[in-house]
Structure 1
Amino acid sequence: MAELRAEGLVNRTLPQAGRTRVWFATAYGVQVAAEWPELRGRRPPKPASGPVATWLRVSHTLTVHDRHPSPPLR
């Protein structure tokens, strides 16, 4: 991850007491990934505007997942 961060493809939130560090794709990282054959033709997600926005989005996603877990795979 440090190498991807050095290339400007990802960044991370700053860990706070009791919280996990969260990595997220930068706008440049999203642009680069959109060129991958597997992702061509798909609309990229809106990039996070920064570490705080990323943490809020991840916190919300994890809360929703905890409340409404996916059914088990068959």
Structure 2
Amino acid sequence: GTFIQFLYEATSAFGTVGLTLDLTTHLNWFGKLIILLTMYVGRVGVLTIALAFAKKQISAGKNIKYPEDKILVG
């Protein structure tokens, strides 16, 4: 296949739309692994995965503020 055909396969895998040119059978194990990871990232979402691996963590209770107000009843 040409570069454009493999780019189409990768884009289709990222979009998880199910469209294919049946080029996956011509890929070696590493190419299939890349397609698999591309499908996973496309399904879960780039932002979700980035936040899951982010090292900055918010300490529990430190940034939580509860609203306070005087409520009139009656």
Question: Of Structure 1 and Structure 2, which has the larger fraction of its residues in strand?
Answer: 1
Q: TM-score, normalised by structure 2?
A: 0.28
Question: Of Structure 1 and Structure 2, which has the larger fraction of its residues in helix?
Answer: 2
Q: TM-score, normalised by structure 1?
A: 0.28
